[in-house]
Chains A and B, each alone.
Chain A
């Protein structure tokens, strides 16, 4: 009997054990096999923190690799308001002068922070109080934004437990206002606002990466637990064709000239003849991208590209080039030129100075800048033919130099020209161009008639070294090489025989060029009484290498023409020094201006 009882009890125990083991086994299988992945995810989700790895925005550099725009790291100083009140507002930190710890109150800590960031201790106390008034459990408030590295290191040495830091990328421009109009600037939250920063944004912007790290319950990152889930790709480098030093000299020159004659604005553009590259694009009062608010709001864009104006007499060169190219006239074509002409009823124009009818050759007409002579000879070609030539010289079409916005200027088709316009377009009124377009037209003359479109952004080089060159348009043979040579001869005669020859003269170098004095529309159907004075020059005349165009507008306190000429002169000297252009060879052979 005893045996049977014992046996059934042990059997019962055995069954219970089997059932319990079975239950554990089922649960084990469930946890390890069936729900394994879900549980893993949940666990990691509670521990892992995803962090964005910000990519660094690319640099903008000049033609020699000098940095014009780059990304800087700045730090935001933050504190946890509720933690400043913990433990009665006191915390302990290691004693800097010995062993052990030192007790520090929150008020003392605020003073110390304020000393470094330039705030008062009370200000920081206010920040904390305000944050806690809004939300008594507030864990976050900014103390100071955008402090630099040395301030960050000093603040870290204070060893304040509730003070934390976060880094931000900001854009910085180490060369200030040099090429500021071209580079553009960013807003305070890093959005590009103008210039190459906008037009080449796709090249400059990288791709953010992401990583995850695991942290413990009290927020400490577990070392070795960082997993980079996506690599950050930094932005590429944009190369401009600008030369930093020459750009500074050009900006100095135009600022000085505008200041001297109290002009409204002034532009100075220097372009390489063979390649169409713009080595300097200077505008007066250009914005300093580091400090946009300090600049004149009307001078923050690249006005050389977006502010066209009527060029005036500098366009006469193109009219004569068209005449020579068509074989209708030569530099020696004779014309008895009066000072004033009314060729048809309702059409009238005159020269800038009174004179008797003069026996001028076409070269003489260009040297004296006679509107009458130009219009008389210019209208030997039909309006359509001249319109066609102006288009071949690049007028009326936007340049594609690489800026975000490039104005096409104003050139209506020939069929819309009224009778006055037909004559006015021969001497550069009733048509408007940007200064870059004028430089491009003179570049064609200097380059044997082959117009190479202007460029300012050479290309984009990404992080791996691959270079993408921008497309700027196809070169166009505007006039024949023979025509271009003859026009260069005329321009050199102008530079040596006109009233301004001594202003621009550079001993040892042969120069060629033409002044322009243009009236500008007043916005009410008429023209202003003051002028935009320009000078477009090519040097050296024997082997053209650079074109420089200077325009000074509406001078109130001096002679704008002299200002433009002086600006060209200084620009030419600066270009010669920068690129080491050797003196001219050969001799200047003047073309007769009178017969």
Chain B
């Protein structure tokens, strides 16, 4: 048996909107608490740090660059010193060559009054024999006849050890003229 008991349909309830839900059920929502946060830094610190870092990098770059340039200046100064010293060395070596030239030695020797042994004797070492004569055939110190214009300004040492001006060698085209003919004689009575 089916018995459908007609229920009373509450039309009013059907037509009117459903009442809002009551706030009575427990809400599961609650305002959120702020999470436990660390102490907040001011943005200034970060800025300072990054600026400081950048400045530090720039400063070290500048320092390196100064050091490199300093090295370059030092190297340049040393190169200049080397150039100057090698110039001095070249002048000194040439002075030595000039002073060692045979003309200088001969002029100084002549001024000192030295003579030359024209025929030195030889000593043979194997048996101690003396070859040649031990009599000294000294020749007069001859004037130097071979010019050397690099010596013009250098003095010579004379027999007293004093520096005296040098006399340039003169190759005269007119040596003493020989007398020709009879010698003049005074008239006598």
Contacts and interface: CB of A to CB of B under 8 A. Distances in A.
Interface of A: 66-67, 70, 72-73, 148-149, 172-178, 223-224, 244-245, 248-249, 251-252, 255-256, 259-260, 262, 284-286, 288, 290-291, 294, 506-508, 557, 573, 577, 580, 582-583
A508 B120 CA distance: 11
A355 B133 CA distance: 40
Contacts of B172: 259
Given A223-B73, A557-B175, A148 B148 contact: no
24 contacts: A66-B97, A66-B100, A73-B87, A174-B97, A174-B98, A175-B102, A176-B101, A176-B146, A176-B150, A176-B151, A223-B73, A224-B68, A224-B72, A224-B76, A251-B145, A252-B106, A252-B142, A255-B146, A256-B142, A259-B175, A290-B149, A506-B119, A582-B122, A582-B131
Interface of B: 68-69, 71-73, 75-76, 87-88, 90-91, 94, 97-98, 100-103, 106, 118-120, 122, 124, 131-133, 142, 144-151, 171-173, 175, 177-178
Contact of A508 (B71, B98, B124, B131): B131
A252 B131 CA distance: 28
B149 A255 contact: no
Given A67-B97, A149-B91, A508-B131, A251 B119 contact: no
B176 to A, nearest CB: 9
Nearest to A222: B72
Contacts of A291: 147, 149
Contact of B69 (A223, A284, A583): A223
Contacts of B88: 149
A223 B146 contact: no
A176 B142 contact: no
Given A148-B91, A252-B142, A508-B132, A288 B149 contact: yes
A456 B6 CA distance: 155
Given A176-B149, A251-B145, 8 more contacts: A245-B102, A255-B146, A285-B171, A286-B146, A288-B147, A290-B148, A507-B119, A580-B122
A259 B143 CA distance: 13
A542 to B, nearest CB: 13
A582 B121 CA distance: 9
A177 B150 contact: no
Contact of B102 (A248, A262, A583): A248
Contacts of A252: 106, 142, 144-146
Contacts of B132: 507-508, 583
A66 B97 CA distance: 8
Contacts of A173: 150
Nearest to A221: B76
Contact of A175 (B76, B101, B122): B101
Contacts of A149: 87-88, 91
Contacts of B91: 148-149
Contacts of A70: 94, 97
Nearest to B152: A291
Given A149-B88, A255-B171, A508-B131, A177 B122 contact: no
Contacts of A260: 175
A178 B102 contact: yes
Given A67-B97, A262-B175, A177 B90 contact: no
Contact of B148 (A177, A507, A557): A177
A177 B147 contact: yes
Contacts of B98: 174
A507 B175 contact: no
A-B interface, 5 closest residue pairs, ranked by CB to CB distance from nearest: A176-B148, A224-B72, A174-B97, A248-B102, A291-B149
A389 B147 CA distance: 42
B75 to A, nearest CB: 7
Nearest to A173: B150
A244 B151 CA distance: 17
Taking each of B101, B146, B172, B178, which has the highest tally of chain A beta carbons within 10 Å of its own beta carbon?
A: B146
B101 A177 contact: no
B94 A174 contact: yes
A256 B97 CA distance: 25
B158 to A, nearest CB: 21
A224 B79 CA distance: 11
B145 A256 contact: yes
A583 B122 contact: yes
Contacts of B101: 174-176, 178
A260 B172 CA distance: 10
A172 B98 CA distance: 10
B99 to A, nearest CB: 9
B75 A224 contact: yes
Given A251-B145, A262-B175, A290-B148, A172 B122 contact: no
A66 B131 CA distance: 31
Contacts of A288: 147-149
B72 A223 contact: yes
Given A248-B102, A573-B118, A582 B149 contact: no
Contacts of A290: 148-150
B175 A175 contact: no
A301 B97 CA distance: 24
Contact of B90 (A73, A224, A294, A507): A73
A573 to B, nearest CB: 6
A219 to B, nearest CB: 15
A312 B102 CA distance: 35
A172 B172 CA distance: 26
A290 B146 CA distance: 13
Taking each of B75, B98, B102, B131, which has the highest tally of chain A beta carbons within 10 Å of its own beta carbon?
A: B102
A413 to B, nearest CB: 41
Nearest to B74: A223
A583 B133 CA distance: 10
A88 B94 CA distance: 44
Contacts of B76: 223-224
B119 to A, nearest CB: 7
Contacts of A244: 102
Nearest to B168: A294
B82 to A, nearest CB: 14
